């Protein structure tokens, strides 16, 4: 895949879920963002859990091979009141974290409020506000699913925060 600028980075945002995992890929070059792709990986609820997790891993691995992102970012999941649902979501999240890590891709994690604040300006934004801002920040992007919009929001959040994370990782201490 060709890059717009030699110093650009490809950032893959992931919104984990067992039923639907959203993904969104942006190219970040300085303060400029470009939409490269997005979609949803869906699993069949009638299949055994192990088969669903395997499908999720294979689909993510194929996605990583196709797009070759430089970094990945995953949204922390909302803890559901239903313990069974929370456990299944946690297992899917484990696969979502594992796939890029196995490919040698650095993985960052962000709280939902952090993603909303980075994209909309407030951590208490509603989903439609987030999706509208994603469309504004990525002109020309045709986003068909809310899960994909959420994943693009995670990628945008990472684009905004990655400079600070890199500086801290290198030992930068503010004066």
Which residues are part of the catalytic machinery? 15, 75, 147
Residue entry with tokens 């949204």: 75
Distance between CA atoms of residues 51 and 94, nearest Å: 15
Please tell me the number of Cα atoms within 13 Å of 50 on its side-chain side. Answer: 0
d(CA 73, CA 132): 20
The Cα-based distances of 79 to 24, 58, 82, 93, 146 in angstroms read 23, 25, 8, 12, 19
Q: Is 75 annotated as a binding residue?
A: yes
46 annotated to bind ligand: no
**Which residues fall in the annotated binding site for Mg(2+)?**
15, 75, 147
């Amino acid at each position: 895949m060709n890059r717009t600028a030699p110093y650009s980075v490809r950032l893959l945002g992931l919104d984990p879920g067992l039923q639907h995992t959203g993904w969104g890929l942006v190219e970040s070059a300085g303060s400029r963002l470009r939409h490269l792709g997005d979609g949803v990986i869906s699993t069949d609820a009638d299949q055994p859990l192990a088969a669903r997790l395997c499908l999720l891993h294979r689909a993510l691995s194929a996605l990583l091979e196709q797009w070759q992102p430089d970094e990945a970012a995953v949204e922390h999941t909302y803890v559901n009141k239903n313990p069974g649902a929370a456990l299944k979501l946690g297992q899917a999240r484990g696969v979502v974290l594992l796939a890029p890590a196995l490919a040698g891709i650095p993985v960052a994690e962000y709280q939902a409020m952090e993603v909303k604040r980075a994209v909309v300006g407030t951590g208490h934004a509603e989903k439609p506000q987030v999706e509208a801002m994603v469309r504004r920040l990525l002109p020309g992007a045709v986003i068909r699913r809310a899960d994909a919009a959420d994943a693009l929001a995670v990628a945008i959040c990472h684009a905004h925060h990655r400079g600070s994370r890199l500086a801290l990782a290198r030992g930068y201490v503010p004066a």
